[in-house]
A = this chain, B = another copy of it.
Amino acid sequence: MDQVDEILSQWHRERPDLDVGPMGLLGRLARLYSHLTRAVEKTLADYGLNAASFDVLATLRRSGAPYALSPSALMATAMVTSGTMTNRIDQLEKTGLIKRQANPDDGRSTLIALTQQGHALVEAAVSAHVANQHRLTECLSAAEKQQLNALLATFLARFES
């Protein structure tokens, strides 16, 4: 009987006509997301980053040399609007972790590239981040992690595919 069960129990008392099964599932997912986000940001804060800025640096890093992508490509993987990405890029450029370069092939576009400083920072941050992710999920057995991951993949396919 956790906090989500308590919510479902209240709805059952007040609105017995509602089938709140899915609400339990989605409620747990939302609360879990909230806890996880806070925990992740706590670790990234040690590197002067938040989830948003880390996401940009990490996307550039894992894209491989020369560690440069267009704002559009960054928007797509981050699932944010153009205005949001412009703001993220502005902030990271101010702190010298990335730089805007002209795109020689398309005058409408620019290329966002990791600076030496940005590369070094994300290299350290991603190691700490991955270690933190292990710590956060170690409450689940290997089988549970595998099972949960598979179910999330099935669910996610509803929205991406």
Instruction: Tell me how far the C-beta of A47 lies from the nearest C-beta in chain B, rounded to whole angstroms.
Output: 16
Instruction: Tell me how far the C-beta of A91 lies from the nearest C-beta in chain B, rounded to whole angstroms.
Output: 21
Of the listed residues A35, A62, A63, the one surrounded by the most CB atoms of chain B closer than 10 A to its CB is A62
Smallest CB-CB separation from A130: which chain B residue? B18
- Option from B4, B23, B24, B29 in Cβ contact (under 8 Å) with A29: B29
Instruction: Tell me how far the C-beta of A129 lies from the nearest C-beta in chain B, rounded to whole angstroms.
Output: 8
Which applies to chain A's interface (DSSP): helix, strand, loop or mixed? helix
Q: Pick from A92-100, A101-109, A110-118, A141-149 the stretch touching chain B.
A: A141-149
A90-B7 Cα distance, complex, nearest whole Å = 24
Instruction: Tell me how far the C-beta of A79 lies from the nearest C-beta in chain B, rounded to whole angstroms.
Output: 6
Smallest CB-CB separation from A127: which chain B residue? B18
- Option from B10, B32, B126, B130 in Cβ contact (under 8 Å) with A22: B130
A127-B18, A134-B19 known; A4+B64 contact, CB < 8 A:
no
**Does chain B have a CB within 8 A of A30?**
yes
**Does chain B have a CB within 8 A of A154?**
yes
Tell me if B32 and A155 are in contact (CB < 8 A).
yes
Q: A40 contacts which chain B residues (CB < 8 A)?
A: 26
Tell me if A22 and B155 are in contact (CB < 8 A).
no
Q: Which of A18-76 contact B (CB under 8 A)?
A: 18-26, 28-37, 40, 61-64
Interface residues of chain A, those whose CB is within 8 Å of chain B, are 2-4, 7, 10-11, 13-15, 18-26, 28-37, 40, 61-64, 77, 79, 126-127, 130, 133-134, 136-137, 139-140, 144-145, 147-149, 151-161
